[in-house]
Structure 1
Amino acid sequence: MVREDGKRNFVLREENGKESSVFSGSMPRQAALKAARRLDPAGSEDEAKSSPTEIRLREKGTDKVHIFNAWAWTSNAPGDKPDWMEGEITKGNVSKQGIEHLDE
């Protein structure tokens, strides 16, 4: 369901069907990128991309489950970072694999 600000809510689904975290975004990929940053990061993007993790996001109010391959890695923070930011940051990327519809 679309909120007034145009964003939709997506729930992270585990393999057993349990739903945990909620991520919002105007598109499923935007929510998936937020979820990918919570994965255990690899040392580099190449390492991370070689072993992606499947994440499933169910769009709230629908039976659609968006399936992504996701990976995360650590990177040095930019030189113009604010004082409160740490020296390393976690970046993530995703690749959409498809959509399933729940039978529940």
Structure 2
Amino acid sequence: MTSTSGDPRNFALRDESGEKTSTFTGQVPRQAALKVARRLDTADSEAQASREEFRLREKGTKKLHIYEGWAWREQAPEDKPGWMAETITEANVSKEGIEYLDEL
């Protein structure tokens, strides 16, 4: 199955035992990984953030994307909209690789 570049793809977050815990959507795996990273324990700064490894299974494929992610809190920009909180969660990820599973 192929998709066009604008179609969203679904990625299942897998725990250590390989069980699906949540589903995240993104046009590319990194977009979904950033959504996962924002849910990690946040630190007061990026330098203090602890890195956590997680795995995203791309639905409909045998690909398992492996990422290391971290999150931290920052002050919202001065020109923020009125509904935005004073502090926001920022995140970053680093791709560690791809594994190919036997089963679909």
| Residues 79-98 of structure 1 mapped to structure 2, 5 A cutoff | 79-98=78-97
Residues 34-55 of structure 1 show CA distances to partners (whole Å, capped at 9, x for unaligned) of 110011101101111xx31001
Aligned to 1:34: 35
Aligned to 1:59: 58
**What residue ranges of structure 2 are gaps of 5+ in the alignment?**
none
Determine helix, strand or coil for the equivalent of 1:35: helix
Matches of 1:40 and 1:82 in 2, distance apart? 25
Matches of 1:5 and 1:99 in 2, distance apart? 22
**What residue ranges of structure 1 are gaps of 5+ in the alignment?**
none
Matches of 1:25 and 1:69 in 2, distance apart? 17
Deviation at 1:4, TM superposition (A): 9.1
CA RMSD after TM alignment:
1.6
| TM-score computed with the length of structure 1 as normaliser | 0.90
Determine helix, strand or coil for the equivalent of 1:46: coil
Deviant stretches of 4+, over 2 Å: 1-5
Deviation at 1:103, TM superposition (A): 2.7
